[in-house]
Amino acid sequence: MADPMKIRASAKDGITEVKVLMSHEMETGQRKDSSGNLVPAHFITELSAEHNGKQVLAAQFGTAVSKNPYLAFKFKGGAKGDKLAVSWVDNKGDKRTDEVQIN
Partner 1 sequence: MNMQRREALKAGGGLGLFGLLAAAGLITPGQARAEWNKSAFDAKSIEDTLKALGATGAQSSTDIQITAPDIAENGAVVPVGVVSALAGVEAIAILIEKNPNPLAASFMLPAGTEASVQTRVKMGQTSDVIAIVKAGGKFIMTKKEIKVTLGGCGG
* Between 63 and 98, CB nearer to partner 1: 63
Query: Would you tell me which residues interact with partner 1 (CB under 8 A)?
Result: 15, 26, 28, 30, 45-46, 54-67, 69-77
Q: Rounded to the nearest whole angstrom, what is the least distance from the CB of residue 49 to partner 1 in the complex?
A: 9
The three-class DSSP label of residue 14 is coil
Decide if 70 contacts 64 (C-beta within 8 A).
Answer: no
Among left, alpha and beta (phi > 0; psi -120 to 50; other), residue 77 is left
Q: Rounded to the nearest whole angstrom, what is the least distance from the CB of residue 66 to partner 1 in the complex?
A: 4
* Between 63 and 87, CB nearer to partner 1: 63
Provide Rg for the chain, Cα atoms.
15
* Between 32 and 76, CB nearer to partner 1: 76
